Amino acid sequence: MMTSVDTDLIRVLADPLRLKIVTLLAHETLCTTHLVEETGARQTNLSNHLKVLREAGVVETEPCGRFTYYKLKPEVIAALAGQFTELAEHARTAADRKRSCP
Task: Please state, in angstroms and rounded to a whole number, the distance separating the CA atoms of residues 63 and 70.
Answer: 9
- Please count the residues of this chain forming the interface with DNA, following the rule CB under 7 A: 26
* Contacts of 39 by beta carbon, 8 Å cutoff, 6+ apart: 17, 20, 21, 24, 46
> Scanning residues 5 to 34, which ones bind DNA (CB under 7 A)?
11, 14-17, 31-33
Q: Is 58 helix (H, G, I), strand (E, B) or coil?
A: coil
Among 21, 44, 61, 77, binds its own copies (CB under 8 A): 77
Q: Say whether residue 49 binds DNA (CB under 7 A).
A: yes
In the complex, the residues that contact DNA under the rule CB under 7 A are 11, 14-17, 31-33, 36, 41-45, 47-52, 61, 65-68, 102
